[in-house]
């Protein structure tokens, strides 16, 4: 499994593939790959002739220095996972390669970045939009694959890709969960066994309100209150947000009359986890 470090190298590789008439799928990641990433790479491999996986911990999307410094990494493990999942090459640039001296351009989005994760993580989505735009321009893929766990990120990427006429198809892929229901995340590796057990309260709360909707509760405030109450029974859980929103606009809704998205971010100890679920289908 080749790991290419420079923009020139990956561009040359893609050019050769395109000259051969191959389609290119792309899975952008920050590394420390898990089964969730594997499912994205497998889907990309089933829909494209060649698959590139980028591994880059993007400093511009971290609003917390410690979070950036402690972000897990394991390039050897990533290489094995990419190979087993059917990927062809890893693009793992250095920070200097992506943001050389004098770098001064940022890609910003209006509106969609204000709620949910954007409300408390200042500048986070500007960092995501900037790096993903750069990666799209460098890799020039036909299709790019993102997990629905980061539902807001996916909505934002679809929006700016359309707004900026970037010729790439954005493919959203379902959340992959551990057997007990915990959404897969590279951050799960930061949890102790006890924290992992306690983190299950997140999926439990989402399941409870989904069931409440099924039983006829439509009032979003009531649903939210129940979810917050349930999560708060765990001593080390601190809710960053819990919202019920329209899945297309991400705007808060008052009543769950049709498809709605329950989305949450919860600190379990020091680790911030996100999860979401479509309720009221
Ligand atoms: O979802 C992620 O891992 C990152 O936000 C992404 C899309 C790779 C951009 O750095």
- 91 CA to centre of ligand 1 in angstroms: 14
The owner of tokens 């993007």 is: 58
Question: DSSP states of 260-271 as a string?
Answer: EEEEEEEEETTE
Picking from 240, 248, 119, 241, the residue whose alpha carbon sits closest to that of residue 172 is 248
Which residues have CB under 6 Å of ligand 1?
A: 28-30, 58, 61, 128, 131-132, 150, 153
3-state helix, strand, coil in the chain (%, to 5): 45, 20, 35
- 253 CA to centre of ligand 1 in angstroms: 27
Specify the pTM: 0.96
Catalytically active residues, by annotation: 37
The owner of tokens 């220095």 is: 65
Digit-by-digit pLDDT tens for the chain (281 residues) are 999 999 999 999 999 999 999 999 999 999 999 999 999 999 999 999 999 999 999 999 999 999 999 999 999 999 999 999 999 999 999 999 999 999 999 999 998 888 899 998 999 999 999 999 999 999 999 999 999 999 999 999 999 999 999 999 999 999 999 999 999 999 999 999 999 999 999 999 999 999 999 999 999 999 999 999 999 999 999 999 999 999 989 999 999 998 999 999 999 999 999 999 999 87
Q: How far apart are CA 263 and CA 278, in angstroms?
A: 9
The owner of tokens 């390669």 is: 97
Residue of minimum CA distance from atom 8 in ligand 1: 29
The closest-lying atom of ligand 1 relative to the alpha carbon of residue 186 is 3
Token pair recorded at residue 252: 């808060």
Picking from 80, 92, 89, the residue whose alpha carbon sits closest to that of residue 2 is 89
CA 23 to chain centre: 24
Which domains does the chain possess? 2-173 (3.40.50.620), 186-276 (3.30.1300.10)
Judged by DSSP in three states, 202 sits in helix
The closest-lying atom of ligand 1 relative to the alpha carbon of residue 56 is 10
């Amino acid at each position: 499994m080749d790991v290419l470090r420079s923009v020139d190298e990956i561009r040359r590789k893609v050019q050769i593939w395109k000259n051969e008439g191959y389609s290119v799928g792309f899975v952008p990641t920050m590394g420390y790959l898990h089964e969730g990433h594997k499912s994205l790479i497998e889907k990309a491999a089933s829909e494209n002739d060649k698959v590139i996986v980028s591994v880059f911990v993007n400093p511009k999307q971290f609003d917390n220095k410690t979070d950036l410094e402690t972000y897990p990494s394991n390039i050897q493990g990533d290489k094995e996972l990419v190979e087993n999942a059917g990927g062809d090459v890893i693009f793992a640039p250095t920070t200097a390669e992506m943001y050389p001296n004098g770098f001064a351009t940022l890609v910003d989005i209006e509106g969609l970045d204000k709620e949910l994760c954007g409300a408390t993580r200042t500048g986070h989505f500007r960092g995501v939009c900037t790096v993903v735009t750069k990666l799209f321009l460098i890799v020039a893929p036909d299709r790019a694959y993102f997990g629905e766990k980061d539902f807001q990120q996916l909505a934002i990427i679809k929006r700016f890709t359309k707004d900026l006429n970037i010729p790439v198809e954005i493919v959203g892929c379902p959340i992959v969960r551990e057997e007990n229901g915990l959404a897969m995340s590279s951050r799960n590796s930061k949890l102790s066994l006890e924290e992992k057990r306690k983190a299950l309260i997140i999926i439990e709360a989402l399941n409870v309100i989904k069931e409440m909707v099924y039983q006829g509760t439509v009032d979003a405030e009531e649903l939210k209150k129940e979810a917050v109450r349930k999560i708060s029974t765990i001593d080390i859980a601190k809710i960053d947000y819990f919202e019920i929103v329209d899945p297309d606009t991400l705007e808060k809704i008052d009543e769950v009359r049709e498809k709605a998205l329950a989305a949450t971010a919860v600190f379990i100890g020091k680790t911030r986890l996100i999860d979401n679920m479509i309720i009221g289908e």
